[in-house]
């Protein structure tokens, strides 16, 4: 690996980091605008034209607010909580293939930070680590509402991780690889996995909602019962990090869903388009397609949030353990039978 390659890798990491943060920033703006649209309001429209500078104003406000660490809190862990939340949110993007390999001035640039051969499991590990930020923050606040929020988050994450893992297993049985790059390449042009795994995709998206703590699964921060849930005691940018981590998680899980099930950067007629645009602009067009898919998923997250009310806690547990897990196991069995029959009769 020469110096140029290392520089390119470094630049790619920087670009992905900035894109994740900007996407998360403008997701907050989009959320407020979409909520306004759904409720027949106007939404933020004061900062800049159409309120487009609103996220900057929000960020500035968060930074300038007074920082409070409660007297009874554990100070070190109180700070570790939100730091861990934002850290786990940001490292998930390392294994996502953003586009095909492209050529810039003789260099072949791989639009993926690292292609480890257990990429799917890496994503899964990062997701399972994400709950520690919430749990440590909620416990360190030394507040009953925070603790209840943290405990809810822990049990919810564990319950939905199981069905998420099981729904991925059915997909892996078809792809035969754990590398996200290979999974993306198998879905060339229109051979998207969602056509082969419709039930698996529905299970996965429900679990993704639960893992990112989005409505209707936002019980850990349910304001009608728990004041503010795990972040009741937080103020200033530490609160901002918790809220921000949720939007980054939403962006990353949309990217994962698009890669695993909706073809990633592939689209019908991509060979023709690549021939037309060449090896630099063709892959970039694929990246644009990928981001359109991600934005559609983020819109779907918001659409659901402003449409469906929150679950009751027992309903949440029933859905996770009594409906999703049996469905996921049935999906695995059906996938096994289906793929065996297909290879046996040689279709």
Partner 1 sequence: MSTFYFIAFLSIFFSILVISAKNPVHSILYLILTFFTFTVHYILMNAQFLAIVNFIVYMGAILVLFLYTLMLINLNKESEPVKPFMVKFAGVFGGGILIIALVASLKSIGISDPVVLKNPDLGLVKNLGKVLFNEFLLPFEVSSILLLSAMVGAVLLATKDPKAA
Which window, 152-160, 239-247, 257-265, 339-347, contacts partner 1 (CB under 8 A)?
A: 152-160
Which window, 12-20, 91-99, 144-152, 250-258, contacts partner 1 (CB under 8 A)?
A: 144-152
Check if the beta carbon of residue 260 is closer than 8 Å to that of residue 271: no
Q: Is the dihedral of CA 162, 164, 170, 175 positive or negative?
A: negative
Q: Is 142 in the site for partner 1 (CB under 8 A)?
A: no
Residue 345 in tokens: 């009769």
Give the shortest CB-48-to-partner 1 separation in angstroms. Answer: 41
Q: Count of CB atoms within 10 A of residue 41's CB?
A: 10
Check if the beta carbon of residue 190 is closer than 8 Å to that of residue 289: no
Check if the beta carbon of residue 319 is closer than 8 Å to that of residue 311: yes
Tell me if residue 174 falls in helix, strand or coil.
Answer: helix
Q: Is 306 in the site for partner 1 (CB under 8 A)?
A: no
Q: Using CB under 8 A, pick the residue from 73, 96, 150, 226 that binds partner 1.
A: 150
Check if the beta carbon of residue 55 is closer than 8 Å to that of residue 26: yes
Q: Is 72 in the site for partner 1 (CB under 8 A)?
A: no
Q: Which of residues 171-210 bind partner 1 (CB under 8 A)?
A: 178
Q: Round to whole Å and give the CA distance between 99 and 109.
A: 10
Give the shortest CB-321-to-partner 1 separation in angstroms. Answer: 11
Q: Using CB under 8 A, pick the residue from 69, 79, 91, 129 that binds partner 1.
A: 129
Q: Round to whole Å and give the CA distance between 201 and 249.
A: 18
Q: Is the dihedral of CA 74, 224, 254, 41 positive or negative?
A: negative
Q: Is 139 in the site for partner 1 (CB under 8 A)?
A: yes
Which window, 147-155, 194-202, 263-271, 311-319, contacts partner 1 (CB under 8 A)?
A: 147-155
| Residues contacting residue 87 through CB under 8 Å, at least 6 positions apart | 133
Give the shortest CB-324-to-partner 1 separation in angstroms. Answer: 17
Place of tokens 């925070």: 146
Give the shortest CB-120-to-partner 1 separation in angstroms. Answer: 9
Q: Is 121 in the site for partner 1 (CB under 8 A)?
A: yes
Q: Using CB under 8 A, pick the residue from 47, 77, 91, 202 that binds partner 1.
A: 77
Q: Using CB under 8 A, pick the residue from 58, 161, 221, 233 that binds partner 1.
A: 161
Q: Round to whole Å and give the CA distance between 273 and 99.
A: 14
Q: Which of residues 88-117 bind partner 1 (CB under 8 A)?
A: 116-117
Q: Which residues bind partner 1 (CB under 8 A)?
A: 77, 116-118, 121-122, 124-125, 127-129, 131-132, 135-136, 139, 147, 150-151, 154-155, 157-158, 161, 178
């Amino acid at each position: 690996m020469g110096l140029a390659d290392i520089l390119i890798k470094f630049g790619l990491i920087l670009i992905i980091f900035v894109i994740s943060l900007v996407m998360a920033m403008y997701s907050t703006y989009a959320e407020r605008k979409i909520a306004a649209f759904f409720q027949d309001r106007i939404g933020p429209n004061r900062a800049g034209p159409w309120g487009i500078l609103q996220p900057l104003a929000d960020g500035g406000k968060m930074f300038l607010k007074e920082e409070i660490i409660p007297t009874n809190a554990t100070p070190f862990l109180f700070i570790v909580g939100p730091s861990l939340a934002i850290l786990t949110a940001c490292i998930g993007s390392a294994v996502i293939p953003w586009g095909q390999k492209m050529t810039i001035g003789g260099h072949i640039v791989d639009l993926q930070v690292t292609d480890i051969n257990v990429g799917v499991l890496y994503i899964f590990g990062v997701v399972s680590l994400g709950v520690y930020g919430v749990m440590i923050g909620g416990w360190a606040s030394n507040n009953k509402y925070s603790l209840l929020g943290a405990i809810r988050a822990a049990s919810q994450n564990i319950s939905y991780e199981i069905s998420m893992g099981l729904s991925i297993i059915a997909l892996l049985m078809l792809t035969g690889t754990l590398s996200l790059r290979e999974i993306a390449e198998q879905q060339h042009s229109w051979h998207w996995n969602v056509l082969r795994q419709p039930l698996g995709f529905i299970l996965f998206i429900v679990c993704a909602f639960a893992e990112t703590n989005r409505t209707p699964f936002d019980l850990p921060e349910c304001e009608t019962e728990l004041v503010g849930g795990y972040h009741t005691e937080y103020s200033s940018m530490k609160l901002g990090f918790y809220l921000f981590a949720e939007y980054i998680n939403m962006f990353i899980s949309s990217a994962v869903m698009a890669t695993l099930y909706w073809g990633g950067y592939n689209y019908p007629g991509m060979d023709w388009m690549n021939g037309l645009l060449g090896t630099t602009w063709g892959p970039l067009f694929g990246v644009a397609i990928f981001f359109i898919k991600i934005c559609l998923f983020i819109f779907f997250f918001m659409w659901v949030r402003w449409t469906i009310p929150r679950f009751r806690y027992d309903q949440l547990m029933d859905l996770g353990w009594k409906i999703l897990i049996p469905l996921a196991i049935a999906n695995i069995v059906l996938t096994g039978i289906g793929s065996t029959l297909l290879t046996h009769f040689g279709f």
